[in-house]
Every structure is written in structure tokens, then in C-alpha cells.
Amino acid sequence: MHRSGTSAFAGAVARLGLPLGEHILPGQARDNPKGFFEHADVVAAHDALLASAGRTWDDPTLWIARRPQLPGEATCSVQLRSILDREAGRGRPWTVKDPRLCRLLPVWTGLLAEAGREPRVVLVHRQPAAVAASLFRRDGFSLEKASLLWLDHVLGAERWSRDLQRAVVGYDELLRRPVETLERVGDALGVDWPRSPSARRGDIEDFLSRPPGAGPSSVPPLEGAAITAAVLAEEIWSELEDVHPALPAPQALDRLAERVTALAHRADSLLLEHLGQVLERTVGTRLWGGVAPLEDRLAQTRAAFDETAKDLRHRLARLEEGLSEVAALTDRLLRGVSGDARATMREVAEELPKVCAELSHQGEALEATRAELGALGGEVDRVARELDRVSRQSQTAIAGQLEALAWLAGRVDRLEQPRSLAARWRAWREKSLR
């Protein structure tokens, strides 16, 4: 699940010598500054697969209730097989980390079976209240959406990996006892770490250390309909903790999944929130992506226009200087100097062709500048029309999205939750914040 410590575990594993491959996504200052440890090509293939079904990583749909058809699965499998051959050819070990695997693991199991590879799976768990707080702080997700995402990812990852060799890691456990946790995972998976966890203790503990005050300090607002999902997530978390590092029996997990599936009726109300977030992320991005280049071109055209106008003023000034010289020479021709008219005429005859040539050159340059100004003016007009067209198209797109939002808003189920549920949620939240 996202925001559950998968980056922390992958970074620790990387320090033990297991390769993550090339093209690793860099960290971000406000979000995982130490790194995501995700293969950029794998993430891109996963996002394209989700997009082929109109989905995103934070789609609130419950996949454990009904896994959607993914039209792009064949194309994605080809892409992933190419990455697998490149990064893990000839049986080389390779580590893949991406929370999207909680929903897309079946794509990989089929691919790896065809390649004759036996995957090992690590399920990284974190308390749902902490995950919800982190998603609220980073993405503004409501408590209900964050809780349902946690339920679907955690139970889905468990279901899709039942037939595989796997181990369970608790995020808090990893932070408290990193070396012991990594040694336990290696034994459970039958993996010989290239570097001993105990030998790398200092490096691993330094990597996993967090600055004072780090971590979510706020929780999503408590809303009536959100309590059911949040309380259920905390109950399932307690059952997982009771048997950690093992997992409950499959029958017990299936019963828990049935309870989560019963919350599927909340999908319509969550779609309203989700569509609003997608609108902000995609339509707004596309609008800016269409307008920004035009604004850049318009600014460049205006700058070129200003530069050409400046050059034109300079040329006009030189032309005026040339005309002044002609007038001066003509005056000298008429008045003569010291009575020696012939000498003056010879001097004028020598200077006049040069001045005329300069005037001709300035005239040609003036005409070229005027033509350039005309072309630039046309470009300014064309860019302005294109900017207006993009703006009108964007307004139409936004209007359509707003109509969809209004339609979904009419379907939101405004149910009052019993006070007992509110009391239970507050008890869970107080427990999680202690």
C-alpha cells in the first residue's frame, strides 16, 4: 500500500546489494527525499495499464470485490517482459518495488511463470490511521478514501500472493529493529543477501532514521460515512498484528474481505471525490500544458517584435544622419569654400556616391525590417487566436467535467452513522496517535 514503508524497505534491501535496476525514480524534497526506489519504466507501464481501463493508482474501486478488465494487459506484459529481460536476464536477481503491485500482481505472476522465474513477495504493512494521515497531508484524501484504499490494497496483495513464497514486514518493526527484520525476511524467503544486514547495520540505521518530528502530524477530518471504513481498517489491522509476522488463515482473510466488499456501495460517493481530484490533476495540467507553450511563443514573438522595432529606430536615425550629410554637401556645393568652387565640387563628387550607397543600403534594410515586422505581427495574431481556441476548448472540457461532478453529487448517499461508530473510531484514532 502507498505510504506504508515500501520505500524504506526497498532502500534497505538496496543497501544489502540486491539490484533495483536502472532508471530509478529520484526522490522529492517534500515526499520521500531519500528516494522512491521504483523503476521508472515499470511505473510507466503500470500507469499505462491502469489508464487503459480508465483507472489511476488511487481509484477508489474495490478490486477485491470485482477485478476490472484491463484492455492494455497484453501490451503491458510485452513491456514488462522486455524490462525483465534487460534487468534480470540469465537468472540475475532483481528487486521490483511499486505499491501498484498490490492490484497488478496477477500480471507479473503470469509473466514470471512464462519466464521460468520464481518470485518472492514481501508484504509491507503500516497502521491504517498513519497511512490515512500521510495521504491526507500529501494528497488531501478523505478518511474514507484512504481507509478503503488501505483495505483493498492490503487484502488484495494478500489474496494475489497466496501461492507465492512471501514474508510480512511491519513498518514500525522495520524502523525499530531493521537488522533483525531483514534477517528474518531473508530466512523466510530463502534469500542470501549479498551483504550481511549486521555488517551494514550503521548504513541501514542511518538510512531509516527520521528527523525529529517527522511523520504525519494531522489526521483527515472525521465525517459520518467515513467511520465505517476507518473502524473496519483498524479492526483488520489488529487481527494482522495479533499473528505477525505470520498471516491469518485464508478462510479468516476471505471473511474479512467479504466485510470490505459490503462497503462497495460507497464507491459512488467516493467517485465524486476521486473525479474532482483527477480533474485537478489532469484537466488542469492539460490546460496549462496547452496554454503555457503558446504563452511562451507569444512572449518570444513580442520580444522579437520589440528587438526589430529597436533596430528599425536605429536604422531610421542613421538614415536621417545620411540625409543631413547630403544637405551639408549640397550647401557646400552652392556656397563654395574660399572661392575655390572646383575643389569643392571635386570633394562633393567623391563623397556623394558613398552617401548614396549608404542611403540605398539603409533603404533596403528599412524595407526588410518592415517586412519582418509585418510577419511578426501576423505571428502575434495567429498565436493569440490559437491561445483563444485552447482556452475555449479547455472551458468546454471543464464544463463537461463539472456536469459529471454535478451528476455524481446527486447520487451521493448521505447516511447518518450511529454514534457508537463515531466513538469506536475516536478510540482507534487515540490508540494510533499514542
Q: What are the pLDDT digits (tens) for 141-192?
A: 888 889 999 999 999 999 999 999 999 999 999 999 999 999 999 999 999 9
Q: What are the pLDDT digits (tens) for 341-394?
A: 566 666 666 666 776 677 677 767 767 767 777 777 677 777 767 777 766 666
Q: Model confidence at 313, in pLDDT bands (50, 70, 90)?
A: confident
**52 in the Ramachandran plot: left (φ > 0), alpha (ψ -120 to 50) or beta?**
alpha
Q: Determine contact, residues 103/153, Cβ cutoff 8 Å.
A: yes
Q: Is the dihedral of CA 114, 115, 119, 125 positive or negative?
A: negative
Q: Which residues neighbour 14 within 8 Å (Cβ) at sequence distance 6 or greater?
A: 20, 37, 95
Q: What are the pLDDT digits (tens) for 212-227?
A: 555 555 566 655 556 7
> 360-394 b/e with 16+ CB inside 10 Å = b?
eebeebeeebeeebeebeebbeebeebbeebeeeb
Enter the C-alpha cell of residue 248.
491469518
- Treating both helix axes as pointing N-terminal to C-terminal, what angle do 128-139 and 419-433 enclose, rounded to 10 degrees? 90
Could you count the other beta carbons within 10 Å of the beta carbon of residue 314? 12
Q: Which residues neighbour 104 within 8 Å (Cβ) at sequence distance 6 or greater?
A: 46, 49, 50
**What's the rounded Cα separation, in Å, for the pair 260 and 319?**
84
Q: What are the pLDDT digits (tens) for 241-277?
A: 999 999 999 999 999 999 988 887 675 566 666 666 6
Q: Model confidence at 316, in pLDDT bands (50, 70, 90)?
A: confident
- Residue ranges of alpha helices (H) inside 161-216 are 171-176, 178-189, 201-208
Full-model pTM: 0.66
Ordered structural domains, the chain, with CATH: 6-248 (3.40.50), 284-409 (1.10.287.1700)
Residue 405 amino acid letter: L
